[in-house]
Amino acid sequence: QVQLQESGPGLVKPSETLSLTCTVSGGLINSDSYYWGWIRQPPGKGLEWIGSIYFDGSAYYNPSLKSRVTISVDTSNKFSLKLNSVTAADTAVYYCARRRAFDVWSPGTMVTVSS
Amino acid sequence: ENVLTQSPGALSLSPGERATLSCRASQSVSSNYLAWYQQKPGQAPRLLIYGASNRATGIPDRFSGSGSGTDFTLTISRLEPEDFAVYYCHQYGTSYTFGQGTKLEIK
């Protein structure tokens, strides 16, 4: 079955760019008509959708983050998230997930923004 | 933005009881694209219901979803000890938004 796994730095300095990659295993990212998304959860708080990308590369973003976010499909069955100009408010657990109703999730990775 | 408001914020019940969780949208949810998730501490959310009333793969039939338009409900018919968790609703009809969550606690 399909599994997702995030990777990337756990610590990012303020004003820098947060970069995460989600590796898809057990399926091909470009072979099905799926959306692939990023969601985050600040410590002790609820879920926030960051953005999603369709298998053809069309990307859709949370309006509140749109000016700082880029999601792209990479080679080797991966998709990535870049969030620039980060602040402490971007500290969160970051998840990647499949489909519009998120049926498969990654385990989550904690990213802390701190100098 | 379609704002989702969940109620109650917290619910204290005993195993074997029935739980009813509500999710109200500020605008009609397109095509009833409304999902429910369960999240336990330290874990990723798990999809329970999609399309307002369709159980996801492997979800026990004690979980059911209902509703349309702006009012949706997740019902757990007989609570099992493993059901105590936080539950989120999520609309994916117009962009994507999540509710703030309902914490289901053991009484």
Query: Would you state the pLDDT for residue A40?
Result: 98
Query: Would you state the pLDDT for residue A32?
Result: 65
DSSP label of A99: T
State whether B44 and A95 contact (CB < 8 Å).
Answer: yes
| Alpha-carbon gap: A17 to the closest alpha carbon of chain B (Å) | 24
Residue written as token pair 């099992």: B80
Q: Phi/psi zone of residue A76: left (φ > 0), alpha (ψ -120 to 50 degrees), beta?
A: left
**pLDDT for B62 beyond 90:** yes
Query: Would you state the pLDDT for residue A28?
Result: 84
As a whole number, the mean pLDDT across chain B is 97
Q: Express as a percent the part of chain B with pLDDT over 70.
A: 100
Query: Would you state the pLDDT for residue B39?
Result: 98
In this complex, the residue of B56, B57, B98 whose CB is nearest that of residue A47 is B98
**For residues B20 and B72, is the Cβ–Cβ distance under 8 A?**
no
Query: Would you state the pLDDT for residue A34?
Result: 86
pLDDT average, residue stretch B63-71: 97
B64 SS3 class: strand
Lowest mean pLDDT among A19-33, A73-87, B39-53, B91-105: A19-33
State whether A101 and B92 contact (CB < 8 Å).
Answer: yes
pLDDT average, residue stretch B67-92: 97
Query: Would you state the pLDDT for residue A29?
Result: 85
**Confidence category of residue B30, pLDDT binned at 50, 70, 90:** very high
How long a stretch of residues is chain B?
A: 107
pLDDT average, residue stretch B82-104: 97
Query: Would you state the pLDDT for residue A55?
Result: 82
pLDDT average, residue stretch B73-84: 97
A8-30 burial, b at 16+ Cβ within 10 Å, e below that, comes to beeebeeeeebbbebbbeeeebe
* Contacts with A95 from chain B: Cβ below 8 Å: 44-45
Low-confidence ranges of chain A (pLDDT < 50): none
State whether B99 and A46 contact (CB < 8 Å).
Answer: yes
pLDDT average, residue stretch B29-43: 97
The token pair at A90 is 């971007």
* Contacts with B96 from chain A: Cβ below 8 Å: 37, 49, 52, 62, 100
Query: Would you state the pLDDT for residue B101?
Result: 98
